[in-house]
Structure 1
Amino acid sequence: MTFAETLERNAQPIIDEIYHDGFIQDLLKAQIDKEAIRQYLRADASYLREFANIYALLIPKMPDLENVRFLVDQIQFIVNGEVEAHEFMAEYVGEPYNEIVQEKVWPPSGDHYIKHMYYNVYAHENAAYAIAAMAPCPYVYAEVAKRAMQDASLNKDSILAKWFEFYQTEMDPLIDVLNQLMNTLTQNMTEHEKQEVRDNYLQSTVHERNFFNMAYTSEKWEFGGTRV
């Protein structure tokens, strides 16, 4: 079993929790509150912008030109390709996607997740740390979507079924390359360093769960007190 495969196996209990949380279950049944979808889309628009920036920061850390091309392609996909999945959600809400995301949101859970990835870009020269912080995102989406497509609870008549259809296949090439990079870049690491990379991966898997939940609960910053 490769290093990346052990990370995926270790993440399964968290992905089980994600799948059974309210956001995914209501999405499956096409019974999710439209405001939760709006919150998700607004937060995800901010998240993806930063995800693309992090790819750009990783370019100088890549071991060869082929991997540089891969990162450039992924930036293009984030800018153009993944919007297709968002359009399905916007259609469910009944509002244009671009209008929904005009209102910016930056909830605490999304803030924590993005800073987790940025920290690992800047704190470590070896890109394995940052890639481990980024890799759970496509893997969680792919795993959730593949389970959903086999789930009798999926409302196949809803436009939201297309969201699951999109992610069941679109993430696979990205997952393969990120896993190959992690396997390569961790080969000469000490066991302590590998454990730090494992922790990054699992922490980001938890962040994925929190990201869905923050949309479901309309999470907001609570500063308390009275201000002048």
Structure 2
Amino acid sequence: MKLSEELKEVSQPIIDDIYNDPFIQDMLHGKLPEEAVYFYLKADASYLREFANIYALLIPKVPNIDEVKFLVEQIQFIVEGEVEAHEILANYVNKPYEEIVTEKVWPPSGDHYIKHMYYNAFAKENAAHTIAAMAPCPYVYQVIANRALNDNALNRESILARWFDFYSTEMDDLVVVLDQLMDKLTENMDDREKEEVKESFLQSTIHERNFFAMSYNQEAWDFGGAS
């Protein structure tokens, strides 16, 4: 079994948890609380900006020019294309997206996730480590979206169904390329380093779950002391 296939297999229990957690379930039923939408959009705007920066760090490490071109296209997609999914959520709460994300949030779970990706980009020479930290993001969205579209509980009358429509196809090419890179870059790795890559992938899958949960609960830093 290729490593990319193994990573997908071992991450399924976590993705099942994500799907059954309140954020996705409420979205599925068309009743996601507006406060959760606002928080998610603010946090994801910050996350995606850093995700694009990490792509830029990954570019010098990939093997050939075609992969470089693809990653450059992905940076452009993050900056422009993925806004379409955000606009769906903004329309759900009936407020302009740009107005929502004017206010930034940087909650603990998002902070931990972003720093996990940066650590792998800066500390690990082999790009497979960075890819392992990044790949769960598109993969989780792809799996959840396709599962939702085949779920009889999906509220097709809600605009939120279009969010699942978007991610059911838009992540496909990216997942394929990241899988190919993962398998190519880990081909000559020893078992110890492959386990590190696997753990990084699973940690990011957990971070994905935490990201949805922090949005649903409006997570904030608690430094103690006087409020």
State the TM bucket, normalised to the shorter chain. Answer: over 0.9
Structure 2 CA distance, aligned partners of 1:47 and 1:30? 24
Aligned to 1:89: 89
Is 1:114 paired with 2:106? no
Whichever residue aligns with residue 201 of structure 2, its letter is Y
Aligned to 2:125: 125
Aligned to 1:78: 78
Identity of aligned pairs, percent?
A: 65
Whichever residue aligns with residue 221 of structure 1, its letter is W
Is 1:34 paired with 2:34? yes
Structure 1 CA distance, aligned partners of 2:113 and 2:56? 18
What do residues 14-38 of structure 1 show as CA deviations (whole Å, max 9, x unaligned)?
0000000000000001111101000
Aligned to 2:141: 141
Structure 1 CA distance, aligned partners of 2:67 and 2:150? 34
Aligned to 2:18: 18
2:161 match: secondary structure = helix
Cα displacement (A) at 1:226: 2.7
Aligned to 2:55: 55
Cα displacement (A) at 1:69: 0.4
Aligned to 1:169: 169
Aligned to 1:226: 226
1:141 match: secondary structure = helix
Computed over aligned residues only, the root mean square deviation of the Cα atoms, in angstroms, reads: 0.7
1:111 match: secondary structure = helix
Structure 1 CA distance, aligned partners of 2:215 and 2:103? 14
Give the TM-score taking structure 2 as reference length.
Answer: 0.99
Structure 2 CA distance, aligned partners of 1:206 and 1:173? 23
Structure 2 CA distance, aligned partners of 1:30 and 1:179? 32
Structure 1 CA distance, aligned partners of 2:66 and 2:32? 41
Please list, as runs of the form range in 1=range in 2, the aligned pairs for 1:186-225 lying within 5 A after superposition: 186-225=186-225
Structure 2 CA distance, aligned partners of 1:175 and 1:70? 12
Structure 1 CA distance, aligned partners of 2:94 and 2:35? 11
5+ long unaligned stretches in structure 1: none
1:66 match: secondary structure = helix
Structure 2 CA distance, aligned partners of 1:203 and 1:147? 22
Structure 2 CA distance, aligned partners of 1:225 and 1:98? 34
Whichever residue aligns with residue 212 of structure 1, its letter is F
Structure 2 CA distance, aligned partners of 1:53 and 1:225? 35
What do residues 117-149 of structure 1 show as CA deviations (whole Å, max 9, x unaligned)?
000000011000010000000000000000100
Whichever residue aligns with residue 166 of structure 1, its letter is F
Structure 1 CA distance, aligned partners of 2:198 and 2:82? 27
Structure 2 CA distance, aligned partners of 1:32 and 1:163? 12
Cα displacement (A) at 1:13: 0.1
Give the TM-score taking structure 1 as reference length.
Answer: 0.99
Structure 1 CA distance, aligned partners of 2:61 and 2:146? 32
Structure 1 CA distance, aligned partners of 2:216 and 2:69? 36
2:152 match: secondary structure = coil
